Amino acid sequence: MSMKNELTVLNQLRDVIDAGLNPVTNPATPKTADVVIDFPSVDKMPFKSTVYLLPDYAEYEMLATTNDKAEFRVQMFILVKRDTKANLVSKVYDIYNKIYDLLRKDMDLSGYVDFTEVRDATFYPAVDMNENVQGIECSVAIMFTKDF
């Protein structure tokens, strides 16, 4: 069994969000957004709607000799581009609310962690001073038992 740590938790978060936004039930359905672990870049967006996950920080409390209680913070950036300004607002909030709802219903990331919650969100009407790209930045807190 692999050890549970920040990287495995980050990968699980990515996989849960990707599966929730892009279900494979109908291959003809267009993708809602790419979900990637990377620094957000308007110029390198792999898709016109992209969710970026970036580790932020962690706090630990010792539980036993083999594990710690961890609170791991992840910054999530939802960026959308290539549409009218009104549609950009609708699309970015549609993706954000889908993720918010998903994480409220699957707080343990399919049984992988103890608890997950979105702590805050900030809307950006222009990203990199480009009004044709809009986004939301939010902080996700994940509580889990870190094994070592």
**For the domain that residue 59 is a member of, what is the CATH number?**
3.30.2000.10
Query: If you average pLDDT over every residue of the chain, what do you get?
Result: 93
CA distance 127 to 141: 24
Q: Looking at the domain assignment, is residue 115 inside a domain?
A: yes
Q: For residue 140, give the amino acid letter.
A: V
For 69-124, write each residue's pLDDT tens digit: 999 999 999 999 989 888 999 999 999 999 999 999 999 999 999 999 999 999 99
Q: What is the pLDDT of residue 116?
A: 98
Residue 147's pLDDT band, with cuts at 50, 70 and 90, is confident
Residue 27 has pLDDT above 80, yes or no: no
Q: Looking at the domain assignment, is residue 1 inside a domain?
A: no
Question: How many other CB atoms are there within 10 angstroms of residue 138's CB atom?
Answer: 18
Nearest to 51 by CA among 98, 116, 107: 98
Q: Looking at the domain assignment, is residue 37 inside a domain?
A: yes
Mean pLDDT value across residues 4-21: 96
Q: What is the pTM of this model?
A: 0.92
Q: What is the pLDDT of residue 85?
A: 86
Residue 65 has pLDDT above 60, yes or no: yes
Please give the residue that has the higher pLDDT: either 57 or 29. 57
Instruction: Quote the domain boundaries for residue 116.
Output: 6-23+30-147
- In the numeric block, the tokens 């990515």 are attached to 14
